[in-house]
Amino acid sequence: MNEVAQISEDVRNASVSTDPIAAYDELRQQCPVMHDRHLHRVLFRHEDVLSVLKDHKTFSNAVSRHVSVPNGMDQPEHTVYRALIEPYFSAERMAAFEPVCRQIAANLVKQAPKNREFEFIEDFARVYAVQVQCAFLGWPESLHEPLNQWVRKNHQATLAQDRQAMSDIALEFDGYIRSLLKERRQAGNQAPNDITTALMRETVNGQPVPDEVIVSILRNWTVGELGTIAACVGILVKYLAERLKLQHQMRYKPKLLPATIDEILRIHPPLMASRRVASKAVTIGGQAIEAGERLTLLWASANRDEAVFGNPDELRTDREPSQNLLYGAGIHICPGAPLARLELRLVMEELLRDTSRFSLGENTWPVHAKYPAGGFDALPVKLFVENCCGACS
């Protein structure tokens, strides 16, 4: 096997291993820029990934065949649509949504089994992600179960890399959105006063926003949010379940929770990678990249780079926040970061407040998600409540 083929095989094997994060740590030491026949040029180092993120002129975000607004756009189109969506994640909107989001989290914690093992990802984390996203967008509760089923199908198709199934499932999701848009148009002035209706009334350059663009925006917000929030909640609960001292500290010092959440998700990323395309020839990490060449930016490696973070497994809440690439960097930094941070803080606050402790289950083991997903596909957890009468079990 020649050297290029061996490198390609190393990246593929790392991505499908039982512990890809540890495998990426090892590969980062060997060769910071690798070639892979599936992932193309793979960047492992924080310095290289950050340089690509900040150079939007050289590295294009237009990597998909499908309309992707605005994260799949370049300037000047990206700037126009970014300005349209950013107000939906303003501090004022987050403050208004906080009590609704907290109530959803509190209800789920109250309803969750106590003092016995249960499947946390399927029965809590994914349910929470669907419910808070529907509430944020103003979607009806009748969509909860269809979206839960859709998440399962999408996850299975992605794992299998079944392109036809993935395409069919995407069309199914678009159908949900188009039905919501149709209902609101039929309702006219009686349409719900929510974010989905507000998007329908937006204009760009004096013209109404086309349905194709509205569908893309809502798809990006929802599809990304559902999988990522569920993954994040699972990662956070597992991390604290294995560290009872830190879990206890978070209960009694909740002001430390936001920084701790970001740091845990740096250590164990919910998103493994993103993509770019080089618009011109350039050199990265001492290697020549040709115009048109595709790149994979490996968050799961860059956010653990020893050159920036020292011991990548050390949890430190005093790190420079801008070094953490959890939500990206540059003009394409995640616009929904304020919403994600709010949702994660509130669900962890409620879990910590309404339990005496939580731990991993004893009868089954966590199952790691497979690339490109992060987190866990299955996570057995026990939520303990002192003096529980047993009725909640």
pLDDT of residue 3: 33
pLDDT level of residue 388 (50, 70, 90 thresholds): low
Specify the pTM.
0.93
Q: How far from 99 is each of 83, 134, 335, CA to CA, in Å?
A: 26, 15, 21
Conformation bin of residue 197: beta by default, left when phi > 0, alpha when psi is -120 to 50: alpha
Question: DSSP readout, 124-163?
Answer: IIHHHHHHHHHHHHT--GGGHHHHHHHHHHHHHHHHHT-H
Q: Which residues are bridge partners to 315 per DSSP?
A: none
Q: Which two tokens stand for residue 182?
A: 């149709």
Among 36-50, 121-135, 177-191, 226-240, which is the least confidently predicted range? 36-50
Q: Is the pLDDT of residue 152 over 90?
A: no
Q: Which two tokens stand for residue 180?
A: 């919501």
State the average pLDDT for the chain: 90
pLDDT of residue 9: 62
pLDDT of residue 125: 97
Residue listed under structure tokens 């605005």: 70
Q: Is the pLDDT of residue 133 over 90?
A: yes
First to last CA, the chain: 56
- Per cent of the chain over pLDDT 70 is 95
pLDDT of residue 31: 84
Mean pLDDT of 49-69: 91
Mean pLDDT of 112-133: 96
Q: Is the pLDDT of residue 2 over 80?
A: no
- Per cent of the chain over pLDDT 90 is 72
pLDDT of residue 329: 96
pLDDT of residue 155: 75
Q: Which two tokens stand for residue 11?
A: 């990246």
Q: Is the pLDDT of residue 54 over 70?
A: yes
pLDDT level of residue 378 (50, 70, 90 thresholds): very high
pLDDT level of residue 104 (50, 70, 90 thresholds): very high
Q: How far from 314 is each of 120, 305, 340, 381, CA to CA, in Å?
A: 26, 12, 23, 24
Among 29-38, 76-85, 360-369, which is the least confidently predicted range? 29-38
pLDDT level of residue 7 (50, 70, 90 thresholds): very low
Dihedral sign of CA atoms 283, 286, 289, 295 in order: negative
> Could you report the per-residue pLDDT of 301-322, keeping only the tens digit for each?
999 999 999 999 999 999 999 9
Angle separating helix axes 126-137 and 91-111, nearest 10 degrees:
140
Among 98-102, 149-153, 268-272, which is the least confidently predicted range? 149-153
Mean pLDDT of 280-294: 92
Q: Is the pLDDT of residue 166 over 80?
A: no
pLDDT of residue 15: 76
Mean pLDDT of 364-386: 90
The residues, any chain, with a CB within 8 Å of residue 87's CB and separated by 6 or more, are 93
Q: Is the pLDDT of residue 5 over 50?
A: no
For the chain, how many helices (H) and strands (E)?
A: 16, 14
The residues, any chain, with a CB within 8 Å of residue 217's CB and separated by 6 or more, are 69, 70, 81, 85, 199
pLDDT of residue 39: 63
> Could you report the per-residue pLDDT of 250-269, keeping only the tens digit for each?
999 999 999 999 999 999 99
Tell me the domains of the chain and their CATH numbers. 3-384 (1.10.630.10)
